[in-house]
Amino acid sequence: MQLRSIDHVDLAPAWAIAAPWLARACARPGCDLSLADLRGLVDREEALLVLILDATGAPIGAGVTQVRERADGGRSCCVLAAGGTGVRRWREIMREIEAGAVRAGCSRVEFVGRVGWAALLPDYRVDAYYVKHLEVAA
């Protein structure tokens, strides 16, 4: 398994492969981005498209990451969306993302995920995220 960052010149064919996985990730609870939002960020080079490849080099998943400057002067790598088919090695994938984050000068990796991620990634701190859905009069 390996991650491959997509250069901007190779974006169109890679996006066609990644889009279904990313669309499913965007449809999950907690994701406040749409597929169009992700594409816009990648098009403007404000985020990076990454393909997840199996041992043969075939794509099995994709993610979009973004490096953000924090108020304390540090940098954070945010996984905006990730998904795939037959991806079973998320711990290994997160280690690869972490290594890339360190190379980019980031001191932490962040993402919004479902409760089950806490068991899969015990070295990540879980912060509370509260949502209240409000009724809006038409």
pLDDT in tens, the chain (138 residues): 899 999 999 999 999 999 999 999 999 877 889 999 999 999 999 999 999 999 999 999 999 999 999 999 999 999 999 999 866 688 888 898 999 999 999 999 988 777 777 777 888 787 766 667 678 887
| Residue partners of 22: CB distance under 8 A and separation at least 6 | 35, 38, 62, 63, 64, 81, 83
Does residue 135 fall inside a structural domain? no
Does residue 74 fall inside a structural domain? yes
Any idea which residue has 């390996």 for tokens? 2
Q: The pTM is what?
A: 0.85
Q: pLDDT by residue (tens digit) across 50-62? A: 999 999 999 999 9
Domain total of the chain: 1
Alpha helix (H) residue ranges in 7-121: 11-26, 35-43, 90-103, 117-120
Does residue 127 fall inside a structural domain? no
Any idea which residue has 């890339």 for tokens? 100
Does residue 138 fall inside a structural domain? no
**Domain range for residue 50?**
2-120
Does residue 134 fall inside a structural domain? no
| CB contact at 8 A, 64 and 39 | no
What CATH number has the domain bearing residue 25? Answer: 3.40.630.30
Does residue 116 fall inside a structural domain? yes
Percent of the chain that is helix, strand, coil (3-state, to 5): 35, 25, 40
Does residue 75 fall inside a structural domain? yes
Q: Which of 131, 130, 108, 105 is nearest to 121 (CA)?
A: 108
Secondary element (H or E) of residue 107 = none
CB atoms within 10 A of CB 23: 15
